[in-house]
Structure 1
Amino acid sequence: MADPKLHHYVPQFYLRRFTDSAERLWAWDKTSDRVFRTQPKAVAAESNFYQLPQLIEHGHNPLEMEKQFADLEGQVSAITGQWLDWVRSGHPGDSLPMPAVNREIISQFLALQSLRTADARAILVAFSALQHGYQAESEEDVRSLHAAVLWDDALISSYADRVSRCTWLFALNLTPSPFVTSDNPLAFRTSDNRAWVKPGNLGKDAYVVYPLAPDVIMYCYPDEGVWRNSNISRFDCRISPVLMTEGMVQSENSAQVFMASRFVISSQNSFSSEREFLKMIEEDPDVPPTVE
């Protein structure tokens, strides 16, 4: 079998969960305001995104990173597939079975997902230039810099440990409006629920918002800051007792507009509220994107 040339920084198994009845998804390019229908394999990917030719010099597979992601994604697909079944058939307050090994796998996946995207790569290159004066002179330099972060065991382990210690809460969306996702799907919200922030601006109180499917979303509340003394931990690995409203769904969807490099992705051809949110933050880019 030929090595894959199109490398996904958002997994195909995940994108397939946002397809319509014809197994196609709708993508809105926020940079050009263009909507098109496509297949999961055609978005959130770039040619040879994880290829590292320098590994050949040491006798290694230049696609080793892509292979490692594929192995992890197979496990995550099975685990989160069970979660979706349980949330959809469960009731508010129900607990989801969570073996320690599954929590470890998902924590690692979420840590890597936040760092593996094209947006994360661009931020990393800009940060390295600003803080360390490092100028990437070629695409291979950019890939190498990104790989150094993704293969930094201490960094990824520390990030994954923080995710693992979070309170994991799941909410079911029964409204006509689906959750959307994007080419940079892991979002971060301030503890007062007023703004979305990029990873570089994270405070201790920021929590993760991650849509798992059009009808299920996951929240990760950190074991620090304002959350440490709250009662949120009693909901760990439970279905939220709060019923989602369309307004709440639109609020969560605004995260994907803010986080997306280019593409916001949905199971429906309907992006009116997402367009309105983008217009709002473009009119005053110096103001943090509020989500009330």
Structure 2
Amino acid sequence: MSNTKKKHHYVPRFLLRQFSENKTHLWAYDKTTGKSHGSPIMDLGSENRFYSIPDKFLTKPGNNEFVEDIYEDIDTRSSKSLFEFLQNIKSAALLSPSGFPKYFIPDHLMHELGWLAVIQTVRTKEFREFSTQTKMLFQKAIFDWFLDSDQIKKISGKSKPELKITIEEGGEALEHSRAAFDEQLLNKLHDHCLNKIWTIGINNTNKPLLISDNPVVMTSHLGKPLAWGAKGTEVALPVSPNHLLIWTCPLALTQEVADNYDRRPFELHSDHIDYYNSLQTLQSTRYIYSARDDFSFCSDLLHDNESAFRDPLRSRAQINIGGDEYTVPRNYKNGI
């Protein structure tokens, strides 16, 4: 197998190229070590055999890389849609007397860019960590409830036994692929995306928009959990150092703002850039990418926030069932 197929990309190369001046290399900042390094795009947003599923889980052993094959096909289509979108914005800017693009996202690009955002959400390492942790917590809670029941105590005559929830070797990739290709889930997320207010952030400042190994970031304007379908959620995806796609729940905006800016560009100011770059930094798994070797903003931000944001093995999920709160320990892959 070639090295090209060996590397599985959870951030597509066509997206990372939009942030590179020479289309081949970027700088990567490791928020765990606080150091940066230059790297070919081929090596970024990727991990060897990330999507590989062991033969023991396959009905037809041998095709362990089929998930990466699917993503390569998806990326071919998505890259064309993103290119069309960015070219449209640039053309609109050239035709505008002020130099600021007057543009309205057409229906077909809404559909395709919506899928780009949804697929990017579910293919990342961050999504895998969150979904794995959440599943383990629910399993732990269910077993605790079952083993604490009076009936079990009567039958066994013993106190609650110790039970550890573990991850089967190779099981993470399998469960990730099941969730990432769940048709019902994907369609639901796409519907949420299409039902939000779409805006296009245009960055003409001297600060570039950053992108990370978890590019689709979220914030809540109503204090709700971060999720595509949660009330008040805003979702953002930088698609170049100068362009940001934003999807906002209508409940978080005034009707006037929604009417004037839906599917249209607006100008990003310096504080906007800092805000969205902070989301990329804090919500990344480990790496932030830029054409410039200047990550002082990221370093200062992480210094001022909890050290947990630096830890790729940090807890991402917690649940509360019947008044009992479950959280994931740092070494959760050894069992909880």
Query: Does the TM-score normalized on the shorter chain lie above 0.5?
Result: yes
In 2 relative to 1, CA 129–112 (structure 1 residues): closer, same or farther, beyond 3 Å?
same
SS of 1:162 mapped into structure 2: helix
CA-CA distance at 1:32 after TM superposition = 0.1
Code of the aligned partner of 2:261: F
Structure 1 residue 283 displacement after superposition: 6.6
Shift of 1:156: 1.0
Do residues 87 (structure 1) and 113 (structure 2) align?
no
Structure (1 or 2) with the larger CA radius of gyration: 2
Q: CA deviation at 1:75?
A: 1.4
1:103 lines up with 2:110 in the alignment: yes
Contact preservation (8 Å) 2:226, 2:233: no
Distance 1:228 1:160, change over 3 A: farther
Matched, 1:123 2:130: yes
2:117–2:237 CA contact under 8 A, matched in 1: no
Letter in 2 for 1:71: D
State whether residues 175 and 245 of structure 1, in contact with CA within 8 Å, keep that contact through their aligned partners in structure 2.
yes
Measured after TM superposition, the shift of residue 59 of structure 1 is 6.6
Q: Which amino acid aligns with 2:265?
A: I
Q: What is the CA–CA distance in structure 2 between the aligned matches of 1:232 and 1:129, rounded to whole Å?
A: 40
Task: Specify which of 170, 173, 178 is matched with residue 143 of structure 1.
Answer: 173
Alignment of 1:173-212 (within 5 A): 173-191=203-221, 199=227, 203-212=230-239
> Which residue pairs with 1:221 in the alignment?
248
Shift of 1:99: 3.2
Q: Distance in 1 between matches of 2:61 and 2:44?
A: 32
Which position in structure 1 is the counterpart of 2:329? none
Alpha-carbon distance change, 65 to 233 in structure 1, aligned in 2, over 3 angstroms: farther
Q: For residues 20-59 of structure 1, what are the structure 2 equivalents within 5 Å?
A: 20-21=21-22, 23-54=24-55, 56-58=58-60
Measure how far apart 1:236 and its partner are. 2.4
Residue 229 to residue 62, structure 1, CA distance change in 2 (3 Å): same
Partners of 1:70 and 1:88 lie apart in 2 by 27
Once the two structures are superposed, residues 235-262 of structure 1 have per-residue CA deviations (whole angstroms, 9 ceiling, x without a partner) of 222111xx32223212211111111111
User: Does residue 244 of the first structure (1) align with residue 268 of the second (2)?
Assistant: yes
> How far 1:6 sits from its partner (Å)?
0.6
Q: Please, which moves more after superposition, 16-25 or 67-76?
A: 16-25
Aligned to 2:199, what secondary structure does the other structure show? strand
For residue 181 of structure 1, report the CA deviation from its aligned partner: 0.5
Matches of 1:108 and 1:244, distance apart in 2: 24
Contact 1:168 1:219 in 2 (8 A): yes
Structure 1, gaps ≥5 residues long: 286-292
User: Which residue number in structure 1 is paired with residue 299 of structure 2?
Assistant: 275
- Superposed displacement of residue 60, structure 1: 7.9
Residue 15 of structure 1 is matched in structure 2 by 16
Name the structure 1 match of 2:143.
Answer: none
Contact (CA 8 Å) 1:163, 1:222: kept in 2 or not? no
Do 2:214 and 2:284's aligned partners in 1 also have CA atoms closer than 8 Å?
yes
1:197 Cα deviation from its structure 2 partner: 7.1
> 1:52 Cα shift?
2.1
Aligned-residue Cα RMSD (Å) equals 2.6
TM-score by length of 1: 0.85
- Report Cα offsets for 1:36-67 as digits up to 9, x if no partner: 01111111111111122346533783322212
Structure-2 separation of matches of 1:189 and 1:42: 29
Q: Separation in 2 of the partners of 1:12 and 1:175?
A: 25
How many angstroms apart in 2 are the aligned matches of 1:115 and 1:284?
A: 22
Q: CA deviation at 1:187?
A: 0.6
Between 1:230-239 and 1:183-192, the stretch displaced more is 230-239
Q: Kindly indicate whether the alpha-carbon contact (under 8 Å) linking 1:87 and 1:170 is maintained by their aligned counterparts in 2.
A: no
Match of 2:315 in 1: none
Q: Number of aligned residue pairs: give it.
A: 277
**Larger deviation: 53-62 or 263-272?**
53-62
Which one-letter code corresponds to 1:85 in the other structure? Q
Distance verdict in 2 for CA 1:283–1:217, change over 3 Å? same
After superposition, the C-alpha distances for 1:6-54 in whole angstroms (9 at most, x for unaligned) are 1000001111111134732111100000110111111111111112234
Q: Take 1:45 and 1:183, find their aligned partners in 2: how far apart are those partners?
A: 9
8 A contact 2:17–2:23 mirrored in 1: no
